[in-house]
Amino acid sequence: MENKPFLITKKLQPENQESPIHFLSPWLTPAKYFYRRNHFSYPPLTPRHLWLQISGNVSQPRSFHLYDILSMQAKSLILPLECAGNKRAHFNPKVYGEQWKDGAISQGKWTGVPLAHLLGQTGICNQTKEVLFEGVDFGRKPNKEDMIPYKRSLPLETALHPDTIIAYMYNDKPIDYKRGYPFRLIVPNWYGMASVKWLTKIELINDSFNGPFQTDDYVYYPHKHNDHDSFPVTTQQVNSIIQQPLPFSLLNTGVHEIKGIAWSGKGIITGVEISLDNGDTWQRTVLERLNEPYAWTKWSFLWHVEKKGEYSIYARAKDSQGRIQPIHAFWNRKGYGYNAVLKVNVKIE
């Protein structure tokens, strides 16, 4: 029988689980291996949730039924969703929050309709600044009395991007319950918090939303003891992982394939280099890409090694915006956007 990987539990309530990313090679992560990140318990759904309400600064408020949306011209995008806290466990000094290692990222095919198309039917009033998205799930934030829904906004410009979609399928099947059925917002290039699950309400507003998932969480706070110089978490950093070999592997002399994936929230990956001498010299790897603007890039390198001993393998990705993974992480109090070069130690014996 073939052995199968498992999700890695980080928390049971709410359910937070990491993808076994080191053992997945398909371009599309099967739904059962997709990481799970929830702020609240899974919401009870009723037939009412098959309606998507658009209100606020619109000339014609409307509710779209799932059937209305299914009848519209669909679009599919292959892209990774990555939690802003992915790799948080690597920060030094340590930061509070879910101690994600490298698996709070998964990639798949999302199908839906551009939000811009729906907004074309409701009209958009002048002065609209942001679009607010609300999920069905709700609960309390630590030390807070009131029950709040999961709710975040996007700048109007991002909301109107033709690739910002209201998705209803994942990998050609209806989005499953835990992943946001029936509607899920998908925002390419942005960290996962923007892609609101169980979407039921969309509201156009003419000011800046300042709910807790916008102005408290998902903000980079560069200082430990004050909020100076803070700025919001938006698009993904340039980043990569080494999938194989695994850290602290014992290997024989000979040829080994070093491989992994790389991604960026700005432009495309233009190169991934590895170093086998603690960063003194870097060698190019072979890239493999899909004809998809947002999908991750696979990279691989054939390593011929005859000398026994301990080695550190480093990988760093570059994107078409000229960004490159740094050696030192940008430390921030809530631990978002970790993208420093990581090393994988192996021993050849």
Ligand X SMILES: Nc1nc2c(c(=O)[nH]1)N[C@H]1C(S)=C(S)[C@@H](COP(=O)(O)O)O[C@H]1N2
Q: In terms of CB distance, is 83 or 118 closer to ligand X?
A: 83
> How is residue 304 written in tokens?
């011929």
Quick check: 274 and 283 in contact, CB under 8 A? yes
Least distance in Å: CB of 267 to ligand X? 22
* Long-range pairs for 86-89: beta carbons < 8 A, 24 or more residues apart: 86/338, 87/239, 87/338, 87/339, 87/342, 88/335, 88/336, 88/338
Q: Which residues between 71 and 130 bind ligand X (CB under 6 A)?
A: 81, 83
Residue 116, H or E segment: helix 115-122
137 binds, among ligand X, Mo ion, none (CB under 5 to 8 A by kind): ligand X
One of 102, 130, 137, 163 touching ligand X (CB under 6 A) = 137
37 binds Mo ion (CB under 5 A): yes
256 binds, among ligand X, Mo ion, none (CB under 5 to 8 A by kind): none
Least distance in Å: CB of 43 to ligand X? 8
One of 10, 21, 35, 58 touching ligand X (CB under 6 A) = 35
Instruction: Please choose, from the candidates 334, 314, 311, the residue with its C-alpha nearest in 3D space to the C-alpha of residue 325.
Output: 314
Quick check: 244 and 300 in contact, CB under 8 A? no
Cα Rg, the chain, nearest whole Å: 21
39 binds ligand X (CB under 6 A): yes
Least distance in Å: CB of 92 to ligand X? 23
Quick check: 31 and 173 in contact, CB under 8 A? yes
Least distance in Å: CB of 315 to ligand X? 23
36 binds, among ligand X, Mo ion, none (CB under 5 to 8 A by kind): ligand X
35 binds, among ligand X, Mo ion, none (CB under 5 to 8 A by kind): ligand X
Q: To 10 degrees, the CA torsion angle through 17, 21, 26, 27?
A: 80
**Which positions ≥6 away from 328 have C-beta within 8 Å?**
340
* 127 bridge partner residues: none
260 binds, among ligand X, Mo ion, none (CB under 5 to 8 A by kind): none
Q: Which residues between 76 and 95 bind Mo ion (CB under 5 A)?
A: 83
Cα 326 to Cα 316: distance, rounded to the nearest angstrom: 8
Binding map of ligand X across residues 183-222, x = CB under 6 A, - = no contact: ---------xx-xxxx------------------------
One of 114, 135, 188, 265 touching ligand X (CB under 6 A) = 135
192 binds Mo ion (CB under 5 A): yes
Cα 318 to Cα 323: distance, rounded to the nearest angstrom: 6
Quick check: 174 and 167 in contact, CB under 8 A? no
Q: Interface with Mo ion by CB under 5 A: which residues? A: 37, 83, 192-193
Q: Contact positions toward ligand X, by CB under 6 A?
A: 34-39, 81, 83, 135, 137, 150, 179, 192-193, 195-198
